[in-house]
Amino acid sequence: MNPEVLLSVQDLHVSFGAVEAVRGLSFDVREGEVLAVVGESGAGKSLTARALLGMPPREATVTGSVRMGSYELVGARHSVRAALWGRRLALVPQDALSALSPVHPVADQLAAAVRSVDRVSRKAARARAVAALEEVGIAADQARAYPHEFSGGMRQRAVIAMAMLHSPALVVADEPTTAQDPETQRQILDLLAHRSEATGTTLVLVTHDLPTVREHADRVLVMYAGRLVEEGPVEEVFARPRAPYTAGLLASAPRKGRGAVTSSGSAAGRDQPQRTRRQRLPSIPGTPPNPSDLPLGCAFAPRCPLADATRCRTERPEPETHDGRTVACHRWRELPDHPAELFLESV
């Protein structure tokens, strides 16, 4: 039996004047899953995350639908969002230092978050705050410290603890490892995945860390230039990407450590071709397009090794769903057995 749909996104658009940064995005988030949203910088991932929570930038115009049960979040009143925040929805932001008040100890801030939802005494709220911090690896004797006295990794752990305080149905983690060293990034992403599993919380994880996506996520949604490129179960997408852009991302992923990805776009250890020492690290040529000057047709066509001069350059591909996989590409049926090799360059 398939899990129930917790959040349904239909034809989501996020615009700044005449510029569309998110363009007609549709997908579902299912109860209890970890959905990873990946793509290069500028793909529209963070704007999508904010729209899911009903808190886009003030200057943005949002249309379409983001529905959670009987609640519509696009255009929702503050009272509706307030009823959901903490209890049903929570955010783990990119910048924990900006999210935390500089003038109050961290434990006091979590205690205030407890009391904003539950009617408990100050003492009980503080006890819950300290316990929540301990669950993410921050000792009780550190709880009285101020945010500037924490390391970057500790601050991020603190906002994870705050997001999980009331075991919300859905947590959106918007690139929560920005500006962290690689080891801290991995620890934070591991912690998020483990805490969501322990509390039964559904997690939407916006990240660049593809090995961690493969290890912890159930499904992955790949975005490019504000649109869905590919979506499906993690194991299937990593083993056999259908979109050239997805293949390029996988080809560029780290090759060492847990969940490493090979040059074929598959999990390390499988019987797949590997790069030799005489080959350069694969990369997608060029740069993502400016949202205010998108190419005609497929936005990825100028960088795609399979793009033709007719349909790919003139007609925008629409998402198609086959066997539980969704892809927006005119030529996905023509990809070679190991599509990541399209992005390999020999020295």
Residue type, 40: E
Averaged pLDDT, 39-59: 92
pLDDT tens digits, one per residue of 194-219? 888 888 899 999 998 898 899 889 99
Residue 74 dihedral angles phi and psi, to the nearest 5° = -75, 115
Hey, do 5-217 and 222-343 end up sharing a CATH topology, with the first three levels equal?
Answer: yes
Averaged pLDDT, 298-326: 94
- Which CATH number is 5-217's, of 3.30.360.10, 1.10.10.10, 3.20.20.100, 3.40.50.300? 3.40.50.300
pLDDT tens digits, one per residue of 243-263? 999 999 998 876 644 444 443
The CATH architecture of the domain made up of 222-343 is 3-Layer(aba) Sandwich (3.40)
Domain segments of the chain as ranges = 5-217, 222-343
Q: Distance between CA 86 and CA 253 in Å, rounded? A: 34
Query: What is the predicted pLDDT for the residue at 279?
Result: 53
pLDDT tens digits, one per residue of 170-190? 999 998 887 778 888 888 888
pLDDT tens digits, one per residue of 270-293? 434 454 544 566 789 999 999 999
Spatial contact of 139 and 58, defined as CB atoms under 8 Å apart: no
